[in-house]
Amino acid sequence: MTWLFFVLAGCVAQLIDGSLGMGFGLTSSTLLLTLGTSAAVASAAVHAAEIGTTLASGISHWHRENVDREILIRLAVPGGLGAVLGATFLSSIDLGGSRIYISTILLLLGFVLFYRNVFQPAVQPNVADVAHPLYLSFLGATGGFVDASGGGGWGPVVTPTLLATTRHEPRKVIGTVSAAEFIVALCASLGFLLNIRRLDIDWTAVGGLALGGVLMAPIAAKLVSSLPRRPLGIAVAVGIIAVNAVRLLGA
């Protein structure tokens, strides 16, 4: 029964992620922390599950021509390096500190998600205006580190930034960020694997989240331009903010 619960959670998280270009890690990590999982184990479990979900999501978006290959490469490589560093950092801090740290990150990312869906950017300069050689590399590395060390964050950091600084279609941004996340999840999992002696992974959670996410990925890619993104984003953000605020107050 618990396994089926994680499958359902994976379906919901992937539907949110595929529709908003963010949310799988935030939703899943918040759920696992609520169930009492330690911060490092929660992030490790989510990223192990994301190897399957992001691969399925990336293939689905690629098939529907939602991916910009040039931006994909420039984001994914530094994102992977940042993810390894983030996983190593989270695995090295003590249990109490890691729980407060990850809840704080999730709370802040919840506010980012809320702000992004309530206030649409008034100006969208062309990517040529922000085409510094290191721009996408810095964005990818930052997103990867926050994602692995905070149990989620690749989408909330990278997707709104690209939407606000490029004229790319939203479906292209969401598809590219989702495809790049496969590399980030793979590298984050490698970082946690290097610190496996400190962790006790719940493989039931990993398998359930992965299966639910893989099953939902093609549907989410198909619905990306038809679901009401703003109301969904606001609802998810409010839930994440509320849960992590209560956890921090309790700590």
Reported as a single tens digit per residue, the pLDDT across 85-105 is 998 888 787 655 666 777 787
Beta-carbon neighbour count of residue 172 at 10 Å?
Answer: 18
Give dist(CA 140, CA 155) in Å, integer: 10
- Please tell me the predicted confidence (pLDDT) of residue 1: 53
Model-wide pTM > 0.85: no
- Please tell me the predicted confidence (pLDDT) of residue 128: 44
Ranges of the chain whose pLDDT falls below 70: 1, 19-21, 94-99, 120-133, 164, 166-167, 196-202, 224-229, 251
Domain spans of the chain, in order of start? 2-250
Give dist(CA 239, CA 235) in Å, integer: 6
